[in-house]
Amino acid sequence: MTAILWDHFLERQTADSVRGMTMKALGIHLLIELWSCNRQKIDNLDYLERIMAHAAEIAGATVLKSAFQDFNPQGVSGVVVIAESHLTIHTWPEHGYAAVDIFTCGTTVDPWKAAGFLKQELEAEEIQIRDFLRGFPHATGETEEDYGLVGRAACGNTNG
Amino acid sequence: MTAILWDHFLERQTADSVRGMTMKALGIHLLIELWSCNRQKIDNLDYLERIMAHAAEIAGATVLKSAFQDFNPQGVSGVVVIAESHLTIHTWPEHGYAAVDIFTCGTTVDPWKAAGFLKQELEAEEIQIRDFLRGFPHATGETEEDYGLVGRAACGNTNG
């Protein structure tokens, strides 16, 4: 179902399909491991906040809010709330490792683009992406349309 | 590995073990589907912000920041940054559905407790939890100690 969103350079594990699980999807959730990153970049709060917002925009999402925090002696945690759900990042500079997750609802946002952008920006030598549908189990459809991949009634339509 | 964290009343799918994947873990990530929730509760931003912070505390985590947004005509998105990573929630009141994820690093936080608390608070009739290790692949250990489930060098130790 997500083949149309797939960038060939990313290693993808279709975890949901491997488990034989079907899901009436309201959204797609990517768990992304980024290994051998640039250790200086992943310890820089301001830089990470900027590129996470940029990643959201590249995916076609609308950034609403963000909250970032750095740690002592190193490491950064950050979340970006988008109209279509969220992006998060947690970094372990001492291991060159960044844990990212991207959850998007609706059909207009492409989370794989954000993943590819972050791999490039953080200079990750290796990436692993596990993708999951979020929503309701037991859907019988096999096409994107059958899965009903739509957002909340007002996915992307914020109050205030 | 997570058996010691397991509350018997939660349906658990050991997705990582089903796939035969091993991971040198720095953290645990739960993807939680909550179905048939109280629709008024999951459309109430102030309430959700309060109970998500409470859920973090029940898990033993330290809340640092939160960012919540409501949608028109309904639905709420929210993230809570904790010293040990994050909690997020996205709700579709029209479906009685809430999508939660909880990512915790270190060994002092129990994300399953937060999941159980949220199920109860949101009056969810059904819950599904998929649990994943985050970190490095190809660990050979089979015990929690072997997996090296530890946080960032300063997991929980914030700047400022």
Q: Which domains does chain B have, with CATH numbers?
A: 34-75+111-126 (3.60.90.10)
Residues, chain A, total? 160
Whole-angstrom CA distances from A80 to A108, B10, B28, B51, B84 are: 18, 29, 20, 20, 17
Say yes or no to pLDDT of B82 above 90: yes
Backbone angles phi, psi at A39, to 5 degrees: -70, -30
Chain B 126-155, CB below 8 Å of chain A: which residues? 128, 130, 132, 134-137, 152-155
The 10s digit of each residue's pLDDT in B4-48 is: 233 323 333 344 443 445 567 899 999 999 999 999 999 999 999
Question: Does the beta-carbon distance from A99 to B66 stay under 8 Å?
Answer: no
**pLDDT score of B8:** 28
**pLDDT score of B159:** 62
- B25 near B116, Cβ under 8 Å? no
Whole-angstrom CA distances from B111 to A85, B139, B145 are: 21, 22, 18
Say yes or no to pLDDT of B2 above 50: no
* Percent of chain B residues topping a pLDDT of 90: 66
**pLDDT score of A15:** 44
Strand pairing partners for B65?
A: B81
Say yes or no to pLDDT of B147 above 80: no
Whole-angstrom CA distances from A105 to A6, A85, B68, B130 are: 16, 6, 16, 19
A29, A90, A159 ranked by CB distance to B72: nearest: A159
Question: Does the beta-carbon distance from A69 to B90 stay under 8 Å?
Answer: no
- A91: which 2 tokens? 């970094």
Q: How far apart are CA B2 and CA B30, in angstroms?
A: 11
> How far is A84 from chain B, CA to nearest CA, in Å?
9
Q: Give pTM, 2 decimals.
A: 0.81
- What does the mean pLDDT of chain A come to? 80
Rounding to the nearest 10 degrees, give the CA dihedral for residues A127, A133, A134, A137.
-150
Range with lowest mean pLDDT among A2-11, B97-106, B119-128: A2-11
Q: Which residues of A are catalytic?
A: 85, 90, 105
Question: Does the beta-carbon distance from B128 to A135 stay under 8 Å?
Answer: no
**B157 — alpha (psi -120 to 50), left (phi > 0) or beta?**
beta
Q: How far apart are CA B40 and CA A52, in angstroms?
A: 32
**pLDDT score of B85:** 96
